[in-house]
Structure 1
Amino acid sequence: MSQPVRLHILITTLPGRGQEQVDAFERLAPIVRAEEGCLQYDLHRVVGDPDQFVLVELWASREALAAHDVTAHMVAADAASPGFRAGPAQVIEVEDQSVA
């Protein structure tokens, strides 16, 4: 059985353009959350910096994540993001180290 995949994605927008990231996320989130295998898709603004964000994603499997990456809405979002982002997002895959 495939293991879930958890990503923390660090996003920095151009100065003063953080609201554009929020707006783009608000349009995209319902579509992504409806995808098969999407367990979590949440954007968090970094305290004290209106232009820095952490996107938390949890996918049921690597296959679900791979399918997500090539959807038309993600291809379009990736094409639009350089207009307001300071650079490429930094994708970090993390393991759950919680103790039950």
Structure 2
Amino acid sequence: MSTVHVLAIITTKPGRRDAVLELFNANVPAVLAEDGCIAYEATIDTENAGPMQTEFGSDTFVVVEKWASMAALGAHANSDHMKAYGASTKDMLADRAIHILSPV
């Protein structure tokens, strides 16, 4: 089995990013305890990164994930704690894009 990387680009409704991140961070320990989870963290634009950066903006964060396999990622997506997290944040989100990537 090959590892998979995920970049989940989450855009909240204006001014809701901190509230969503609070719920996200409360869920992180449960995700890190999942079989096959190698890495899972939320990231935001780095301040003062200079002209090389294309900013996501103040209402967006990117979840950087690494999973041992697609099966592990699938189990994660269907876990009870992720379903609860999704239900608790759905009204605060404007958009999300999930990119599943494989190393070459």
Q: How would you bin the TM-score normalised by the shorter chain?
A: 0.7 to 0.9
Distance 2:37 2:100 in 1: 15
* Aligned equivalent of 2:33: 34
Aligned residue type for 2:14 = P
- Computed over aligned residues only, the root mean square deviation of the Cα atoms, in angstroms, reads 1.4
Aligned residues: 95
Aligned residue type for 1:53 = F
* Aligned equivalent of 1:62: 70
Q: Structure 1 length normalisation: TM-score?
A: 0.86
* Aligned equivalent of 2:82: 74
Deviations 1:34-89 (A, max 9, x none): 111000001001346221111011000111111111111011111222221113x1
Structure 1 runs (4+) greater than 4 angstroms displaced = none
| Paired-residue identity, % | 34
Q: How does 1:7-22 map to 2 (within 5 A)?
A: 7-22=6-21
Is there any run of 5+ residues in structure 1 with no aligned partner, and where? none
The DSSP-based 3-state class of the residue aligned with 1:80 is helix
The DSSP-based 3-state class of the residue aligned with 2:93 is coil
Aligned residue type for 2:2 = Q
Distance 2:81 2:90 in 1: 15
The DSSP-based 3-state class of the residue aligned with 1:54 is strand
Distance 1:21 1:46 in 2: 16
| Alpha-carbon shift at residue 94 of structure 1 (Å) | 2.4
Q: Structure 2 length normalisation: TM-score?
A: 0.83
